[in-house]
Amino acid sequence: MKRLTNKRAIVTGAAQGIGLAIARSFVAEGACVALVDINARRGHEATEELANLGAEVCFIEVDVADSKAVDAMMAEAAKRLGPPNVLVNNAGVAVFRDPLEMAVEDWRHCFTIDLDGAWHCSRAVLPHLLKHGQGDIINIASVHASQIIPKCFPYPVAKHAVVGLTRALAIEYADRGIRVNAISPGYIGTEIVENVFASASDPEKLREETNALHPVKRIGRPEEVACTAVFLASDEARFLTAQNIVIDGGRSILFHQ
């Protein structure tokens, strides 16, 4: 039997990058998956890709910052795939600003997506999980949730809060069969990161320098984050909750470079 047989998962930010890798890995392990994203074109393309492989999937367009839209999305996912028992809060945005020059709108944009979005989706899925006495919420945080990198404000503040949300919900519902965990990726070779390399004056030099920052001498791959999400959503992780698993090739452990 596949590891996620009988799992009905919702993955936000699933149109590309880590979210798409998680959706691919989930269906490969037997899950039904609702791919959720604000980008309708890419979301439909990703869903079509998985459906052509024989997966039971659907796409729902939603802005996770809109709580009413999230409620409607959750109802639609339950109608199309059955009551969800796994939620992956992956949708997010990186906002990097100078603290004193940052507009209020930038602060709000960061938090309404990175934190409020995770809460809106969690609040909407919890009644389904509680009704069946089991389920998993997996929040995609970041190494920014534990290690501060200059010139990245206020993104680390939001990601610290995502880990706080993870721990608080985990303890609140631990005795009711609900597990809540976080994954904190470091440098991962998503399309966004590849675009950063490509935009550099010397792309290969930047790539080599970035690889060299890591004890394993490379950056991570989206599917490596997805493997951890599969584990957390599976019955193999029954005694694991309120945790934040860092996936960064050992980078954040270094004291001095």
Active site residue 187: no
Out of 155, 185, 188, 220, pick the active-site residue. Answer: 155
- The HSE-up count of residue 158 (CA atoms within 13 Å, CB side) is 26
Q: What gap in Å lies between CA 92 and CA 223, rounded to an integer?
A: 18
Q: Is the dihedral of CA 35, 223, 210, 184 positive or negative?
A: positive
Annotate 55-108 with three-state secondary structure: CCEEEEECCCCCHHHHHHHHHHHHHHHCCCCEEEECCCCCCECCCCCCCHHHHH
Distance CA 254, CA 134 (A): 38
Active-site amino acid positions: 155
